[in-house]
Structure 1
């Protein structure tokens, strides 16, 4: 019997997940979408039908749900007979949805680390504060829980594992580089949930250097990278989800995350932060209303999904890795290039949502066929990477490998890679 899938969330990433589940629905049963706003779920379902995304005739259903309510989420999982839950709602939902999966036996997938509304940039390793506390419960219940199965975190974790297993005898450094070289027609916008986006950049930047956690400030360190397709790009050292698991699961002394920002973004961000608009703490207005500045800002900024029609350009996300193979120094860049306009033509999405949503569905397919149905909690780097990367290539996200001046598709290379 093919597993029913429950998608929690109705934003840009959920849009991609729904379309990609529909494109592979020979492997799935019914597909369900749930969020607080029923109309958003129905709009996604309508877009699936409008694009003709269903691989074969199948059922899609919309549900209203407050996923912070564990009992309600558990009841919906049981009512829909969902065996795989893909959580692409707010990062605040992770622990509630995970608990509902533990109580029903459904497999759990998310794409980001859990957050609490009143805390930002928590002490590393962040997973240890929340998800990893449920490891024993998952194993005891035989529940598969795959954490951070987006692109970063997610695919970059698989790139790191692949490199450690096949490209190097010893890895000295992993620099994860995330560049969006695309352009939209808005004065200022974030590419995913503004609240989550800004929270990443308003606290301490934690990186893993010389086998220890090293603090710095946002925009304190910058570096120019010469990358495939997008060319020379400036990126800034920042903290990110995958560092918190890779540092614990791989024996690599230096793991850093670099993200590209335009000068315009930095200038607007700095003004917003300096005047207090990025604060997650409530304030009281002169009229006596209590508001959270960051939530007000989220309400007035463009919905990230609305950027898709006018988005042009490409993204480049990958791992620059240095180490040793057969006694010789080696540098390899494993990466993906994604095109905003192509993604919009295919399913009405922009590339940031596309790169986050496709891997989550690939993980669900690998659970469905048993390859990744491990009956315990894992981060992506704890799983075999090649089936994941090969499946994503068929779904629209190809992996390239650059060494020196040569770029080669991963699937054209042998399972074991020499110098």
Structure 2
């Protein structure tokens, strides 16, 4: 059994994961939070104490300053804290440095997004092959558990895809992952995650998996409208996204696409920023000789995503629309979760988007701690047993539902042995 958790990153997702780990610290052991800005870590610790989140009130809960781009520093912190599980919730540029520290120390590794090279946008698919999967052999040789992309999307939607293929269909023709945030933060314009990472998703090519091969489109070129549970009629746009790049390689499904909801206001502001060059990552020289990266300037003037939480209202709906056949008959199901921004803030002090990303990461830590997911190799979520993951999230605040032929059911889970994670 592994214990003692180091959470790297003190944004909104880090806050959620820290609260959820604290709620299960009887099993997980010591909880450490690290960031370049230690004040953010200390604020999360204050929030955990204020809400009484520590399951074991005498448990260790400490803050640390760390530059996660420094592999040696990350390795030292892992060793100093005795952390056997690392949840990497820093920005996507630090993934490989943190993973290298885990390989060196033997600590289990969890992240929620694919690694990005700061000098490259929208690399050739499949994206995981450009960085993460090159380290598969070393993880296996060292017996290091590395779980990639274990937020909601990627993460939970990968488990939903595996569930559909394994339990609901004989043959799957298509998986359409639909991500809708029907909430409102009351600001003129903001992003729910790090603006620099968020905008990078939308400025490159849109890659999707169609007819068993990669297809490229432009952002906002293809759209669809669906009538979804709770959030109603919503328009979403074909978008490139992490999970397509592993699901396409691990599941025998010819069509896998990702769709994200955007309002007209967001699209208009985004297009203005892009068209006048403010989303560029290339430095520009000002009249006084100073160089500025436009995208970093935009990030600096936009609201901190974590600051949106107090005023956020509404709900999210994220799920997989799966079509195929079973017993020779056509079948279509929608496997999904609905999260509430207000409820998330009341529980952990973060908005619903952060909640949907942070809870799965903490659930993965619990499954590693009690051995179910401690596989001692590198995997994407769809390669792991999905039943205990979905069962655990049902109890941790992210219940799964299934809609089929107009009928809505909560996926209550499967019979399974009572594990320490279930008891915690």
TM-score (norm 2): 0.97
Kindly report which structure 2 residues correspond to 1:93-112, keeping only aligned pairs within 5 A, or say none: 93-112=94-113
Match of 2:51 in 1: 51
Match of 2:80 in 1: 79
Encode CA deviations 1:170-229: one digit per residue, 9 max, x unaligned. 000000000000011100000111111000000100000000000000000011011000
Q: Confirm or deny: 8 A CA contact 2:2 2:368 kept in the other structure.
A: no
Match of 1:26 in 2: 26
Following TM superposition, by how much is the alpha carbon of 1:287 offset from its aligned partner in structure 2, in angstroms? Answer: 1.2
Q: Confirm or deny: 8 A CA contact 1:86 1:110 kept in the other structure.
A: yes
Distance across 2 between alignment mates of 1:2 and 1:85: 11
Match of 1:160 in 2: 161
Match of 1:194 in 2: 195
Aligned residues: 415
Q: Confirm or deny: 8 A CA contact 2:171 2:324 kept in the other structure.
A: yes
Gaps of 5+ in 2: 417-424
Q: Confirm or deny: 8 A CA contact 1:161 1:385 kept in the other structure.
A: yes
Q: Confirm or deny: 8 A CA contact 2:25 2:55 kept in the other structure.
A: yes
Gaps of 5+ in 1: none
Match of 2:421 in 1: none
Match of 2:37 in 1: 37
Residues 65/174 of structure 1: CA separation in 2 closer, same or farther (3 Å cut)? same
Following TM superposition, by how much is the alpha carbon of 1:121 offset from its aligned partner in structure 2, in angstroms? Answer: 1.2
Q: Secondary structure at the match of 1:271?
A: helix
Distance across 2 between alignment mates of 1:76 and 1:413: 38
Distance across 1 between alignment mates of 2:413 and 2:371: 25
Q: Confirm or deny: 8 A CA contact 1:118 1:281 kept in the other structure.
A: no
Distance across 1 between alignment mates of 2:414 and 2:133: 35
Q: Secondary structure at the match of 1:62?
A: strand
Distance across 2 between alignment mates of 1:153 and 1:239: 12
Q: Confirm or deny: 8 A CA contact 1:308 1:348 kept in the other structure.
A: yes
Kindly report which structure 2 residues correspond to 1:95-174, keeping only aligned pairs within 5 A, or say none: 95-174=96-175
Match of 1:371 in 2: 372
Distance across 2 between alignment mates of 1:331 and 1:2: 40
Distance across 1 between alignment mates of 2:43 and 2:285: 35
Following TM superposition, by how much is the alpha carbon of 1:26 offset from its aligned partner in structure 2, in angstroms? Answer: 1.1
Match of 1:258 in 2: 259
Distance across 2 between alignment mates of 1:330 and 1:33: 45
Following TM superposition, by how much is the alpha carbon of 1:413 offset from its aligned partner in structure 2, in angstroms? Answer: 7.2
Q: Secondary structure at the match of 2:123?
A: coil
Please identify runs of 4+ aligned residues in structure 1 that moved more than 2 A: 412-415
Kindly report which structure 2 residues correspond to 1:281-320, keeping only aligned pairs within 5 A, or say none: 281-320=282-321
Kindly report which structure 2 residues correspond to 1:189-268, keeping only aligned pairs within 5 A, or say none: 189-268=190-269
Distance across 1 between alignment mates of 2:160 and 2:194: 25
- 2:3 pairs with 1:3: yes
Distance across 2 between alignment mates of 1:319 and 1:413: 20
Distance across 2 between alignment mates of 1:79 and 1:64: 13
Q: Secondary structure at the match of 1:27?
A: helix
* CA RMSD in angstroms, aligned pairs only: 1.0
Q: Confirm or deny: 8 A CA contact 1:174 1:256 kept in the other structure.
A: yes
Distance across 1 between alignment mates of 2:148 and 2:284: 34
Distance across 2 between alignment mates of 1:242 and 1:356: 14
Encode CA deviations 1:118-150: one digit per residue, 9 max, x unaligned. 111111000000000000000000000000000
Q: Confirm or deny: 8 A CA contact 2:2 2:84 kept in the other structure.
A: no
Following TM superposition, by how much is the alpha carbon of 1:414 offset from its aligned partner in structure 2, in angstroms? Answer: 8.0
